[in-house]
């Protein structure tokens, strides 16, 4: 059993105070796998925007001396040096331009990456909209947190720990064991890219296509074939509440998630937005996060983690 892990230990893994305190509250964890499952749930579902920014600020810019970051734990400083050992030659001008545009340091899980690889990724991500880049940075922070949690659980067999990490990060791979879910298999959040902030108070509806025939066909409504799965409204961070039960195996099929955007912005172009996606039989153990990036006259989405 892991003992003696306190707030400072988890701060070294992720610079968010809220994250560290919640990990202590949810622990102790007797395996690395259980700690990672809890960490993902806390980071994506309980830590707010301010907590994400606090964690980002605990990282040095790529190529910057980790010791120069204020209020950073000594353990985190040592880990940053090791993670960036092949990236210290990265040009600081590029990372400074990134920070000027987005307001936080360029965050990437640098462990094992070469300087050219990091520079290429920085260049690719520099064209992102700030609200999109903000979530990518949060996903990179989670990867870094997992690596650091593994160091905390040094008494766990390294091979077993790595298998657990692959299970969580790459659900499409076959792994020996699958951890129990801590959140519903389908989630969403809404970001108002016109205002540059989360969109709270938007009604969300989740349905599943239940016809015995083939799935829905383009140009045919089939409205009577959709079965209610759950509904909620986004909170102040733009995240929806629980849209369905927490189940280990998601029923394969076609799902539709709809947003009452007209009520949120009566002057906007869209009275509502519906996104239809399919869950394959081979994906029933995966998590489907379907965010909506919204402005008065456009919207976009992608599959997150």
User: What is the bridge-based pairing of β-strands 197-198 and 190-192?
Assistant: antiparallel
Phi, psi (degrees; rounded to nearest 5) at 189: -150, 160
Catalytic residue (choose from 59, 172, 189, 289) = 59
Phi, psi (degrees; rounded to nearest 5) at 51: -70, -40
- Name which of 1, 42, 44, 51 is nearest 22 in CA terms: 42
Burial (CB count <10 Å: 0-12, 13-18, 19+), residue 24: middle
Q: Which residue has the tokens 């990236």?
A: 87
Q: How far apart (Å, rounded) are the C-alpha atoms in residues 121 and 156?
A: 32
- Name which of 63, 73, 65, 70 is nearest 14 in CA terms: 73
Q: Is 189 a catalytic residue?
A: no
Give catalytic residues, as residue numbers: 59
């Amino acid at each position: 059993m892991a003992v003696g892990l306190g707030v400072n230990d988890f701060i070294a893994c992720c610079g968010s105070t809220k994250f560290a305190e919640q990990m202590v509250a949810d622990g102790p964890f007797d395996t690395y796998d259980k700690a990672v499952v809890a960490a993902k749930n806390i980071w994506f579902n309980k830590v707010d925007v301010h907590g994400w920014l606090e964690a980002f600020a605990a990282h040095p810019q790529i190529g910057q001396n980790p010791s120069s970051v204020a209020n950073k734990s000594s353990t985190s400083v040592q880990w940053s040096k090791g993670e960036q050992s092949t990236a210290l030659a990265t040009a600081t001008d590029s990372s400074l331009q990134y920070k000027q545009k987005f307001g936080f340091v360029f965050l990437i899980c640098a462990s094992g990456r070469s300087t050219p690889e990091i520079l290429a990724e920085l260049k690719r991500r520099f064209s992102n909209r700030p609200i999109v880049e903000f979530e990518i940075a949060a996903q990179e922070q989670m990867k870094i947190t997992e690596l650091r949690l593994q160091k905390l659980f040094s008494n766990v067999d390294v091979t077993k720990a790595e298998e657990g990490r692959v299970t969580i990060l790459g659900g499409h791979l076959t792994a020996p064991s699958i951890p129990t879910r801590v959140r519903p298999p389908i989630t969403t959040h809404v970001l108002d890219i016109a205002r540059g902030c989360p969109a709270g108070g938007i009604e969300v509806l989740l349905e599943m296509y239940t016809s015995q025939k083939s799935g829905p066909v383009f140009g045919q409504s089939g409205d009577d074939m959709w079965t209610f799965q759950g509904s909620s409204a986004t909170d102040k961070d733009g995240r929806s509440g629980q849209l369905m039960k927490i189940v280990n195996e998601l029923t394969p099929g076609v799902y539709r998630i709809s947003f009452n955007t007209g009520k949120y912005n009566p002057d906007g172009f869209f009275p509502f937005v519906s996104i239809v996606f399919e869950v394959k039989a081979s994906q029933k153990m995966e998590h489907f996060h379907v965010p909506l990036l919204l402005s008065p006259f456009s919207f976009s989405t992608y599959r997150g983690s």
